[in-house]
Structure 1
Amino acid sequence: MTLTDLVKAFAPNGRLRASINTGNPILAAPTPDGSAKGVSVDLAQGFAQRLGVPLELVVFDTAAKSVDAVTQEQADIGFFAIDPRRGEGIHFTPPYVLIEGCYAVRNASPVTAMDQVDREGTRLVVGQGSAYDLLLSREIRRATLLRAPSSPAVVDYFIEHGADVAAGVKQQLEADAKRIGGLRLLPGHFMVIRQAMGCPRSRGEEAARFLAQYVEEMKASGFVTEALARHGIEGAAVAPAGNP
């Protein structure tokens, strides 16, 4: 595809609309003016510059809303955890960042290991429509899933409803444990969340390959590493080259 063809594919309205999820602190954070800042915003800006078009941020507070925006073509690109269900409507690039999904419990909880979570009577809180909600909905067999309205609301929902386990991004759980007190994370992680860029499947295979190439270049050049450092993000790893 020529650059003109790529611009038509990614920015049919003359601007690149990037769906940004501020519900994951690793990716982006809201700003006072209603916009956002973070690694995903930096990547969106870089891609818009590559296409030579202006960037428009479409900011959401949950992953589910961000996914819907791209699936329904209300946005041209987005930043998501790779998941087969989401992949029905979205072309994913290789991941650019790897994040751990972990469990948190009260200090007094008898649960000490991840293999003790999926048991009858256990109430496990997840963020509605998050990557770990999608995965745990497929894998949890005995515990009951409770869905908080968003990922940042998981721990508060967990406390309010007297649940047994909270699931989420490690960094969010650590911050909430420090904020609230009386909580601990279980050792290890139940999933590695592969954060990628994506575009609507309707934009075509060649456009998807161009976006994937962009992500690989941003990893290889050190751009993603520098963006994580610039925004003070710790505990997230840059995905290896070509990681599917």
Structure 2
Amino acid sequence: MSLVHTLASAIAVLAAATMPGAAQDAAVKAELAPTGTLRVGLIEAPTAGLIFVSHAKDGKPEGVTADLSADIAQELGLPLAVTLFPNSGAAATALQAGTIDISYMPVDATRRQVIDFGPGYYDLESTYLATAASGIADVSQVDRPGIRVVAIDGTTTIRASARTLTQTQPVGVPSVAEAVERMRMGQADAFALSRDTLQPIVPQVPGSRIVDGGFQQTQVAVALPKGRPIALAYVTAWLAEAKKSGLVRRIFDERGFRGDAVAP
């Protein structure tokens, strides 16, 4: 971000902060949800996790990020519209295009160039799910000639996997469901993804195991289009309060992630 851009953003935030309550609320809504509806992009997978959502019996998305989105929409008194994406790369592209207003995804340097991030709510470790036939038990054993690695297109995980592998390279697939199917059909030996998301996938690939060690540590954070400093300041304050009040902890617990720590 340039110095001029940084100063302009700071001035915009300061100006909004000194407005009367009603005007400040209107400024936040105008920048965070310019259409009058909070358009949220969520990432879909067969099983909900700390990033991904799945479908409830009524067809609505359910998961940690769906609950967080509902809270921020309620806080602002805004209607909520959810768009589901097969991967975080597609959601990042939609943020960049301005067709959605907010999403949640792992942070990396490539994404910071095109979208803005608020605070993180979860510290993520990327690793591999390995098939029984591969005999892979440790992350270092993935990096061998002939090992067929799959990862989700356009994600920080595939970029980190590609950077750290020297003897083989990951093949991109569009979704978690596609990666799982390739593992089940014997068309891949290892699947790169976050450890928390891989855990419920293990039973879907009989004999598979999550390997020891990891190849990336990053945070999952709130993401917004660039050029919305008032909106960014608001979601930063909102998530800080949601962590302080215990809301994020309660959402984790209610969704079955009692053993996972909320990012400080």
The two structures have a TM-score, normalised by structure 1, of 0.88
Unaligned ranges ≥5, structure 2: 1-15, 17-23
Distance 1:179 1:110, change over 3 A: closer
State the match for 2:85 in structure 1: 60
Separation of aligned partners in 2, 1:62 and 1:118: 24
What is the DSSP-based 3-state SS (H/G/I as helix, E as strand, rest coil) of the residue aligned with 1:78?
strand
Give 1:79 shift: 1.0
Superposition deviation, residue 139 in structure 1? 2.9
Matched, 1:46 2:68: no
Q: 1:108 to 1:20 in 2, by over 3 A?
A: closer
Partner of 1:82: 107
Contact 1:35 1:59 in 2 (8 A): no
| CA deviation after TM superposition for structure 1 residue 202, in Å | 2.3
Equivalent residue in structure 2 for 1:15, among 23, 30, 37: 37
Q: Percent identity?
A: 28
1:215 equivalent to 2:239? Answer: yes
Is contact 2:27-2:230 (8 Å) kept?
Answer: no
Which of 212, 217, 221 is 1:187 aligned to?
212
Q: Matched residue of 2:34: which SS?
A: coil
What SS class does the counterpart of residue 221 from structure 2 fall into?
Answer: strand
Hey, which of these two has a bigger chunk of helix by percent?
Answer: 2
- Give the corresponding residue for 2:255: 231
Partner of 1:216: helix, strand, or coil? helix
After superposition, give the CA deviation of every residue in 1:78-135 in whole Å (9 maximum; x if it has no partner).
1111122122221101211123322122234343321222233222111222331122
Where 1:238 maps in the other structure, the secondary structure is coil
The separation in 1 between residues aligned to 2:109 and 2:59, in whole angstroms, is: 31
Partners in 1 of 2:238 and 2:70 — Cα distance? Answer: 12
What is the CA RMSD across the aligned residues, in angstroms?
2.1
Query: Using the alignment, how far apart are the partners of 1:183 and 1:140 within structure 2?
Result: 21
Larger Rg: 2
Where in structure 2 are the equivalents of 1:58-207 lying within 5 Å? 58-160=83-185, 162-203=187-228, 205-207=229-231
Q: Indicate the SS of the match to 2:183.
A: helix
Give the Cα separation in 1 of the matches to 2:140 and 2:205. 25
More displaced 10-residue stretch of structure 1: 186-195 or 219-228? 186-195
Hey, what's the Cα distance between the residues in 1 that align with 2:171 and 2:260? 26
Q: CA deviation at 1:33?
A: 4.7
State how far apart, in whole Å, the 2-side matches of 1:119 and 1:171 are: 25
Whether contact under 8 Å (2:164, 2:215) holds in the other structure is no
Determine the C-alpha separation between the residues in 2 that align with 1:35 and 1:109: 37
- Give TM-score scaled by structure 2 length: 0.82
Confirm whether residue 6 of structure 1 aligns to residue 31 of structure 2: no
Q: Structure 1: 5+ residue runs without aligned partners? A: none
Give the SS at the match of 2:143.
coil
The answer on 1:25 being equivalent to 2:45 is no
